[in-house]
């Protein structure tokens, strides 16, 4: 089917599926996965069809090939919203049969190995996609060797200068210090022989990207980076792992805080090993991983070890994780993500997580990503525990909620009735589950606040029209405006999605909200030609009665700025763009929005009184946002719809007379565009 097709390099196309099949064969995967690798591009790139593959090779392989084809068609590096949806599809494909992802990862690995024949822009796109999605996915599945190679191949494309610099420094280091890997490997073998333990010892320098990432995270120069060498000791029995650990710690000094026992507490992808870092020759830090041969097979193959064959027979590895259970643990918490950003955040947190294991007071083990806090621990137990958390004890000592947890610590969560999540908690927690629960609670709290604010705004608007607001009237308005309930209508009014004027017009369409002839809000100025459009500048928000000048903008018509607007200085050298404007004389509608910057007391009822006061002056609040919240005061920016400068002065005078208003001014942002 691929006859006559060529790759970008000019080679026959079939060399690619053969190379992908070889990668999977080296991983000793089952026949179906390897056949799928050979056929993985046939449905997409040739005349072959699903039914033809099913007839020739069976339904299982046809399903796998079709799954790989659908994954290939996902544009994973597109916009955030699209990327989130495609990630959902990726995880769904994984949940149906994980081997689809194994073929896709091998496909991406070979494409990255041969990426030089692609256009430079395509190289950058594929490398970024690999770094963001495929490399962390390989790591999450336990295939660390593939993750490291994918990252390094992408690093070569995205930052070739940094990679070359690290390689040059490595060469210099080897020239100065000799073959450190060989010397330390020999030292470890000598110690093990002396203890009568049979084991293989392998050493290597870490990959350039791994070193680069560590330099960036720890903000260290290459010369100050210590553990750039890694060693593996592979033995026969689990008991030997702990004997080897004792031998190494007796010979070299262990680095505090760098010991992890993934044998007693395995990772969710089946990974088991002991990690320790010691000070080796010349004080150089080296990381040592200790594991059995069976553990090593899972460490190399990860979740793929479930399908491993040797000499034509299925290998039964007691440490291989059940793929169905693994995919469930990965995806079970993603369904609660209400928006695209949140979902992608969940995925990336899960992809990159490395675990710590902590204990509840009852001795239950709670598994969390590295960097997790007591708040993450609380939400991992139950959302209700997290929401009502007030403090925590770690190993019996009370600690701040932002404390980073370490392996083996015992955590006790202290709760209190009436406690609600704080907005600052979002920055404290690291798990997707905790972030999602906190955001959900904050949204509910905001909704309650918006309902209260909406009720106050509705009351003022109705009284201004000589009417009384009632639940019946609000229910009727909600029905006419297509909103489910009266409370939902009030929440939208409070959050400025709906205006009080819209509610009044829905109930009283024949009632004029303003009396008398009004000037058209769309053309309230004199000095425009018939074809010119008009906008008020968002930076200075001029209102009728203030001196203004017009500036022409291509595609935006004429924008009116206040004569004292700081932005006008940018156009001093372009006099041809200036237009003399003035406001029409007469009654303007209350449609000119002005931003007020208020600092008010944080006391019950203060915000309601201020909203009432503004309504009593015949002005409408169209938006409100909190800039700063402190225990004793709030700072907020309030958008108020006004008629003219006289109306503005009336509102500001009324607010300044209020004792709970500490500061008041117009909020002007020179960077805000109309």
* HEC profile of 434-469: HHHHHHHHHHHHHHHHHHHHHHHHHHHHHHHCCCCC
Q: What is the pLDDT of residue 81?
A: 46
45 catalytic, yes or no?
Answer: yes
Q: Which CATH architecture has domain 15-158?
A: Orthogonal Bundle (1.10)
Q: Which CATH superfamily is domain 521-674 in?
A: ACT domain (3.30.70.260)
Residue 673's pLDDT band, with cuts at 50, 70 and 90, is low
CA quadruple 496, 501, 505, 506: dihedral, nearest 10: 20
Query: How much is the pTM?
Result: 0.52
Q: What is the pLDDT of residue 224?
A: 55
Residue 222's pLDDT band, with cuts at 50, 70 and 90, is low
41 catalytic, yes or no?
Answer: no
Q: Give DSSP secondary structure letters for 221-255.
A: -GGG----EEEEEEESSHHHHHHHHHHHHHHSEEP
The structure tokens 């106050």 sit at 456
Range with the poorest average pLDDT among 47-56, 174-183, 229-238, 589-598: 174-183
Q: Give DSSP secondary structure letters for 468-537.
A: ---HHHHHHHHHHTT-S-HHHHHHHHHTTSS-HHHHHHHH-TTS-SS-S----TTS-EES--TT--EEE-
The residues facing 535 across adjacent strands are: 559
Q: Crossing angle, helix 80-96 and helix 99-113, to 10 degrees?
A: 120
Who has greater pLDDT, 281 or 487?
487
Give the mean model confidence (pLDDT) for residues 359-380. Answer: 84
For the stretch 481-519, pLDDT in tens is 888 888 888 888 877 777 787 888 788 765 544 444 568
SS3 374: helix
| Measured distance CA(430)–CA(425) in Å, rounded | 10
Residue 130: other Cβ atoms inside 10 A: 28
Q: Give DSSP secondary structure letters for 133-169.
A: IIHHHHHHTT-HHHHHHHHHHHHHHH-HHHHHHHHHH
pLDDT surpassing 80 at residue 54: yes
Q: What is the pLDDT of residue 360?
A: 83
Task: Look at residues 664, 662, 639 and name the one whose alpha carbon lies nearest to residue 652.
Answer: 664
Task: Please report, for residues 23, 126, 200, 396, the alpha-carbon distance to residue 186 in angstroms, rounded to integers and kept in the order given.
Answer: 31, 41, 11, 44
15-158 and 521-674 have identical folds = no
Q: What is the pLDDT of residue 138?
A: 82
Task: Look at residues 516, 559, 556 and name the one whose alpha carbon lies nearest to residue 539.
Answer: 559
Q: Is the dihedral of CA 432, 433, 439, 440 positive or negative?
A: positive
Range with the poorest average pLDDT among 73-87, 286-300, 517-531, 653-667: 73-87
Q: What is the pLDDT of residue 242?
A: 92
Of 3, 26, 31, 45, the active-site residue reads 45
CATH 3.40.50.620 fits 163-314, yes or no: no
Q: What is the pLDDT of residue 248?
A: 92
| Measured distance CA(217)–CA(211) in Å, rounded | 10
| Measured distance CA(372)–CA(402) in Å, rounded | 9
For the stretch 310-368, pLDDT in tens is 556 655 666 666 666 666 655 555 444 444 455 555 555 555 455 677 888 877 778 78
Give the mean model confidence (pLDDT) for residues 175-182. Answer: 72
Q: What is the pLDDT of residue 524?
A: 87
Range with the poorest average pLDDT among 95-109, 166-180, 203-217, 399-413: 166-180
DSSP 8-class letter at 28: T
| 5-9, 162-166, 173-177, 286-290, range with greatest mean pLDDT | 286-290
Q: How is the chain split into domains, by residue range? A: 15-158, 163-314, 521-674
| Measured distance CA(277)–CA(275) in Å, rounded | 7
pLDDT surpassing 70 at residue 218: no
| Measured distance CA(92)–CA(38) in Å, rounded | 23
Q: Could you tell me where the DSSP H helices lie in 332-422?
A: 340-352, 374-381, 383-387
Determine contact, residues 387/441, Cβ cutoff 8 Å.
yes
Q: Give DSSP secondary structure letters for 562-625.
A: ETT-GGGGGGTT-GGGEEE-EEPSSPPPS-EEEEEEEEEE--TTHHHHHHHHHHHTT-EEEEEE
Task: Look at residues 182, 278, 296 and name the one whose alpha carbon lies nearest to residue 234.
Answer: 296
Residue 112's pLDDT band, with cuts at 50, 70 and 90, is very high
Task: Please report, for residues 456, 478, 487, 511, 618, the alpha-carbon distance to residue 462 in angstroms, rounded to integers and kept in the order given.
Answer: 10, 15, 17, 12, 11
CA-derived radius of gyration, the chain? 33
Residue 39's pLDDT band, with cuts at 50, 70 and 90, is very high
As given in the structure block, the two tokens for residue 248 are: 């190494």
The residues facing 275 across adjacent strands are: 260, 289
SS3 347: helix
- Sequence-ordered list of residues with C-beta below 8 angstroms from that of 63, at least 6 positions apart, any chain: 97
Q: What is the pLDDT of residue 593?
A: 92
For the stretch 520-554, pLDDT in tens is 777 888 888 877 888 899 899 999 988 999 998 87
Determine contact, residues 351/137, Cβ cutoff 8 Å.
yes
| Measured distance CA(349)–CA(270) in Å, rounded | 19
Burial 563-582 (b: 16+ CB within 10 A, else e): eebebbeeeeeeeeeebebe
For the stretch 576-627, pLDDT in tens is 888 888 888 777 888 899 999 999 988 888 888 888 888 888 889 988 888 8
Give the mean model confidence (pLDDT) for residues 116-122. Answer: 85
Q: Crossing angle, helix 59-72 and helix 50-57, to 10 degrees?
A: 140
Task: Look at residues 124, 117, 122, 114 and name the one whose alpha carbon lies nearest to residue 8.
Answer: 117
Determine contact, residues 320/306, Cβ cutoff 8 Å.
yes
Of 3, 11, 26, 44, the active-site residue reads 44
Give the mean model confidence (pLDDT) for residues 186-192. Answer: 91
Give the mean model confidence (pLDDT) for residues 572-577. Answer: 86
Q: What is the pLDDT of residue 337?
A: 45
Burial 160-176 (b: 16+ CB within 10 A, else e): eebbeebeebbeeeeee
Q: Which helix (H) or strand (E) element contains residue 13? A: none
As given in the structure block, the two tokens for residue 238 are: 């689990």
Q: What is the mean pLDDT of the chain?
A: 81
Residue 419's pLDDT band, with cuts at 50, 70 and 90, is confident
Task: Please report, for residues 181, 187, 262, 279, 408, the alpha-carbon distance to residue 244 in angstroms, rounded to integers and kept in the order given.
Answer: 19, 13, 15, 16, 21
């Amino acid at each position: 089917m691929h006859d006559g097709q060529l790759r970008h390099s000019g080679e026959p196309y079939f060399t690619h599926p053969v190379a992908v099949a070889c990668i999977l064969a080296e991983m000793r995967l089952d026949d179906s996965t390897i056949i799928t690798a050979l056929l993985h591009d046939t449905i997409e790139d040739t005349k072959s069809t699903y039914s033809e593959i099913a007839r020739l090779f069976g339904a299982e392989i046809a399903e796998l090939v079709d799954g790989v084809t659908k994954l290939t068609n996902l544009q994973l590096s597109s916009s955030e919203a699209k990327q989130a949806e495609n990630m959902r599809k990726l995880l769904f494909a994984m949940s149906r049969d994980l081997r689809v992802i194994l073929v896709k990862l091998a496909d991406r690995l070979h494409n990255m190995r041969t990426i030089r024949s692609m256009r430079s822009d395509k190289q950058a796109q594929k490398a970024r996609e690999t770094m963001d999605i495929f490399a962390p996915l390989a790591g999450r599945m336990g295939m660390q060797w593939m993750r490291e190679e994918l990252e390094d191949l992408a690093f070569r494309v995205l930052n070739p200068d940094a990679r070359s610099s690290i390689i040059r420094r490595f060469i210099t280091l080897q020239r100065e210090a000799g073959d450190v890997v060989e010397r330390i490997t020999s030292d470890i073998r000598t110690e093990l022989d002396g203890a009568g333990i049979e084991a293989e010892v392998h050493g290597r320098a870490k990959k350039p990207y791994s070193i680069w990432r560590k330099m960036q995270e720890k903000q260290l120069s290459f010369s100050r980076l210590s553990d750039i060498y890694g060693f593996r000791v592979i033995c026969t029995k689990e008991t030997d792992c702990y004997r080897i650990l004792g031998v190494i710690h007796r010979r070299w000094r262990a680095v505090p805080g760098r010991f992890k026992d993934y044998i007693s507490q395995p990772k969710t992808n089946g990974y088991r090993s002991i990690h320790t870092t010691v000070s080796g020759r010349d004080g150089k830090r080296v990381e040592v991983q200790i594991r059995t041969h069976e553990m090593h097979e899972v460490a190399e193959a990860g979740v793929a070890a479930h399908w491993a064959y040797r000499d034509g027979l299925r290998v039964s590895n007691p440490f291989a994780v059940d793929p169905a259970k693994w995919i469930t643990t990965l995806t079970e918490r993603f369904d609660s993500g209400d928006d695209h950003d949140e979902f992608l955040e969940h995925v990336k947190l899960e992809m990159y997580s490395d675990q710590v294991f902590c204990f509840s007071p009852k001795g239950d083990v709670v598994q969390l990503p590295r960097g997790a806090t007591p708040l993450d621990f609380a939400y991992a137990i139950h959302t209700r525990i997290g929401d009502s958390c007030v403090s925590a004890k770690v190993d019996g000592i009370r600690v701040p909620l932002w404390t980073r947890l370490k392996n083996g610590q015992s955590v006790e969560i202290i709760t209190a009735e009436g406690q609600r999540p704080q907005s600052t908690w979002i920055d404290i927690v690291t798990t997707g589950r905790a972030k999602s629960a906190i955001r959900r609670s904050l949204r509910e709290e905001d909704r309650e606040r918006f309902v209260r604010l909406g009720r106050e705004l509705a009351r003022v608007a109705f009284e201004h029209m000589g009417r009384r607001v009632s639940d019946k009237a609000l229910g009727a308005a909600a029905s006419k405006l297509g909103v489910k309930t009266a409370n939902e209508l009030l929440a939208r009014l409070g959050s400025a999605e709906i205006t009080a004027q819209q509610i009044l017009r829905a109930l009283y369409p024949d009632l004029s909200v303003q009396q008398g002839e009004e000037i058209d809000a769309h053309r309230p100025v004199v000095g425009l030609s018939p074809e010119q459009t008009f906008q008020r500048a968002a930076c200075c928000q001029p209102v009728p009665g203030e001196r203004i000048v017009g500036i022409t903008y291509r595609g935006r018509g004429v924008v009116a700025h206040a004569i004292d607007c700081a932005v006008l200085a940018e156009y001093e050298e372009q006099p041809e763009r200036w237009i003399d404007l003035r406001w029409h004389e007469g009654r303007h509608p209350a449609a000119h929005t002005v931003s007020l910057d208020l600092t008010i007391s944080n006391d019950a009822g203060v915000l309601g009184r201020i909203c009432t006061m503004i309504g009593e002056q015949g002005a409408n609040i169209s938006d409100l946002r909190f800039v700063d919240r402190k225990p004793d005061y709030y700072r907020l920016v309030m958008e108020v719809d006004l008629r003219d400068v006289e109306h503005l002065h009336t509102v500001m005078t009324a607010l300044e007379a209020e004792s709970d208003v500490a500061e008041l001014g117009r909020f002007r942002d020179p960077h805000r565009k109309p």
